[in-house]
Amino acid sequence: MRVEYINPFVETAYSILVEVLGGEVKRDNLYLKSTSMPVMGVAALVGLAGDVEGRVLFDMSMETALNIASKMNDEKIDTFDELAKATITELANLITAQAVTKLHELGFKFDLTPPALFTGERMEISDQNVEALIVPMITEQGKIEVNVAIRERM
Amino acid sequence: MKTKQDFPSINERPPDGLKDDGTKVRVLVVDDSIFVAKQIGQILSSEGYEIVATAVDGKEGVDKYKDMFPNVDIVTMDITMPRMDGITALEQIMAFDKNAKVVMISALGKEELVKKALLLGAKNYIVKPLDRKKVLERISSVLK
């Protein structure tokens, strides 16, 4: 996978997380996965289709998701209710919309699907023939992995 | 004991959300995200506005605007929504009431749609993530 696809997602995830969470955000080392991998408990998935195709996954533990939802709503949220789900979905929307704007400026044309939210224990994701690049972002609310699997349309 | 209300400061700015007659500006919030709708509600309520209704898609937004007419002063309208998008809803509201005050709420990257909305009669737009200052400035500029 070409690195220019992932940079906009990493840069945008960083700036949006700093903006909406208001604390320090650190980027951990990027890594590559080409087989199936476990997801942490709450995953927001956005599909891409056009000149390039694939998906972006924002993966975090339930605890992190609740911490983020609490922070973004300025109130303690203990259960992953409709408001918490809408909050994590909106976070995925904000990051993806801004990243895609950058990719459009670089000349890549494609559309996005609305985010789909997956929750559960022991989930696994497999991408056929697409490597996934993962960038862990460490926030005061916990770790979010930005997991990008994109390829040029064949 | 005397309270602050007994000695109102002549320099105190009235909240943006109050009209000249002291009644609250009435807002209809159209957004499919309960997170965003709640955020808009909190920001505007804190400045004296009254959220008189919310709608989860464009169709419900148009229906509520018509049902409540003329008791909505301003509409915040998301662009991307299921069933009926915000641009179509804007068109229908403007066709019903050419003086409607609609402010679009947009994610980044929807510049073409925002331009279209402004040509169709939207009075202003706000790009997410929503920031209290930005929201209040854009909304009050439409009411002036």
Question: Any idea what the CATH number is for the domain that residue A21 is in?
Answer: 3.40.1550.10
B38 to chain A: which residues are within 8 Å by CB? 73, 83
Q: What's the Cα-to-Cα distance from A89 to each of A24, A92, B104, rounded to whole Å?
A: 22, 5, 20
**Which tokens hold the place of A51?**
């000149």
Q: What's the Cα-to-Cα distance from B10 to each of B2, B5, B14, B19, rounded to whole Å?
A: 17, 12, 10, 18
- Distance of alpha carbon B78 from alpha carbon B89, whole angstroms: 10
pLDDT tens-digit readout, A64-95 = 999 999 999 999 999 999 999 999 999 999 99
- Mean pLDDT for the stretch of residues B41-53: 96
Cα angle vertex B30, ends B32, A55, to 5°? 30
pLDDT at position B10, please?
64
pLDDT at position A128, please?
72
Nearest to A136 by CA among A6, A23, A46: A6
Interchain CB distance below 8 Å, A101 and B33:
no
Ramachandran area for residue A80 (φ above 0: left; ψ -120 to 50: alpha; else beta): beta
pLDDT at position B4, please?
53
Interchain CB distance below 8 Å, B128 and A94:
yes
* Model ipTM over 0.95: no
CB-side neighbour CA atoms (13 Å) of A30: 13
pLDDT tens-digit readout, B61-119 = 999 999 999 999 999 999 999 999 999 999 999 999 999 999 999 987 788 899 999 99
Q: What percent of chain A has pLDDT over 70?
A: 97
Residue A145 has pLDDT above 90, yes or no: yes
Q: What percent of chain B has pLDDT over 70?
A: 92
Distance from CA of B133 to the nearest CA of A (A): 14
> Count of CB contacts below 8 A, A vs B?
42
- Mean pLDDT for the stretch of residues A5-18: 91
Tally of domains in chain A = 1
Domain of A146 in residue numbering reads as: 3-152
Name the closest residue on chain B to residue A20, using Cα atoms: B129
Distance from CA of B88 to the nearest CA of A (A): 19
Interchain CB distance below 8 Å, B80 and A114:
yes
A19 to chain B: which residues are within 8 Å by CB? 129
SS3 labels along A57-120: EEEECHHHHHHHHHHHHCCCCCCCCHHHHHHHHHHHHHHHHHHHHHHHHCCCCEEECCCEEEEC
